[in-house]
Amino acid sequence: MTTSGAASDLQVFADRQALMDAAAERVVTAAAQAIADHGGFTWALAGGSTPRELYSLLAGSAWVGRIDWSKVEFFWTDERCVPPDDVQSNYRMARETLLDTIRPAPAQVHRMRGEHEPERAAADYAEELTRALPIGRRRAPGAPPCFDLVLLGMGADGHTASLFPGSSALDERSRWVVPVEPAPGAPWRLTLTLPVLNAANQVSFLVAGAAKRDRLAQVWQAPPAPDAAALPAARVRPRSGHLVWLLDADAGAFRERRSP
Ligand code: 6PG
């Protein structure tokens, strides 16, 4: 079921397997289009638990042959400030579920250095984006890098990447990568900022489960002006790219909720 809003689509699937199959098909299609268009596919991966299933699916025999992995450049939307072998690491999750199978060349894997001091790691990653996403892949000199695909999840509080409600990182307009402290005492994180997320050619949200329903209703009722939206996920509105929300039925049931 697809409904379209302002340059965005909402697609709801009967169950998680159908959701993951649809998400895998979007990655395959986006990769083929990017490789045909400019010889490579720059993909910013989401962290968290939902995408685990997608990455494992893409590494499986039914899908792994459908992408020319030698042309894929892997990036991350955010990372926890932990070593790469830490169980909390988004890189480790992607390595275990996908990269260990497809074995890309090290130069294809652009990992956020969660093990480094956060400010330095954020600055280093912004420099890596400059090197790895050549000027031709941006809409103007100095403009944010333009990923072919940004994959995002959404937390039950409406956060996305590591952009949390009320965070000053939501108002960042010049830096492309910033360190954030999600909550006092919580492990620091690194995150791409909204200018980068909204420069993408395509953004796909992958959201599953009833726990996300209330926030999805809020996202869908958010004001048209992205900056006026309270929830970080509602502020992701690619300026000229395509936005699609891929939901399972449990999450998609938010549309049946009656406002009180
Ligand atoms: C992270 C993710 C984060 C995630 C949401 C949803 O590092 O945790 O980038 O933004 O996408 O928290 O997580 P789940 O998929 O586990 O619900």
Task: Please report whether residue 157 resides in a domain.
Answer: yes
Task: Please report whether residue 234 resides in a domain.
Answer: no
Q: CB count, 10 Å around CB of 105?
A: 8
Task: Please report whether residue 19 resides in a domain.
Answer: yes
Task: Please report whether residue 235 resides in a domain.
Answer: no
182 lines ligand 1 (CB under 6 A): no
Q: CB count, 10 Å around CB of 39?
A: 8
Place of tokens 């494992």: 56
Of 78, 190, 250, the one to substitute when testing ligand 1's pocket (max ligand atoms within 8 A of C-beta) is 78
Distance CA 177, CA 123 (A): 7
DSSP state of 11: E
In tens digits, the chain (260 residues) has pLDDT values of 455 444 479 999 999 999 999 999 999 999 999 999 999 999 999 999 999 999 999 999 999 999 999 999 999 999 999 999 999 999 999 999 999 999 999 999 999 999 999 999 999 999 999 999 865 555 677 789 999 999 999 999 999 999 999 999 999 999 999 999 998 888 999 999 999 999 999 999 999 999 999 999 999 888 777 777 889 999 999 998 999 999 999 999 998 865 54
- Distance in Å, CA 206 to ligand 1 centroid: 10
The dihedral formed by the CA atoms of 27, 30, 33 and 34, expressed in degrees to the nearest 10? -100
163 lines ligand 1 (CB under 6 A): no
Task: Please report whether residue 237 resides in a domain.
Answer: no
Task: Please report whether residue 231 resides in a domain.
Answer: no
Does an H or E element contain 10, and which?
A: strand 8-13
In sequence order, which residues have a C-beta less than 8 Å from that of residue 255 and are 6 or more positions away?
12, 217, 220
191 lines ligand 1 (CB under 6 A): no
**What is the domain range of residue 23?**
6-208+242-252
CATH of the domain at 140: 3.40.50.1360
> What is the reported pTM?
0.94
Distance CA 251, CA 260 (A): 19
- Bridge partner residues of 243 (DSSP): 8, 203
Indicate the number of domains in the chain: 1
155 lines ligand 1 (CB under 6 A): yes
Task: Please report whether residue 236 resides in a domain.
Answer: no
158 lines ligand 1 (CB under 6 A): no
| 160 in Cβ contact with 233 (< 8 Å) | yes
Task: Please report whether residue 165 resides in a domain.
Answer: yes
Atom from ligand 1 closest to the CA of residue 159: 10
- Distance in Å, CA 245 to ligand 1 centroid: 15
Name residue 239's amino acid.
R
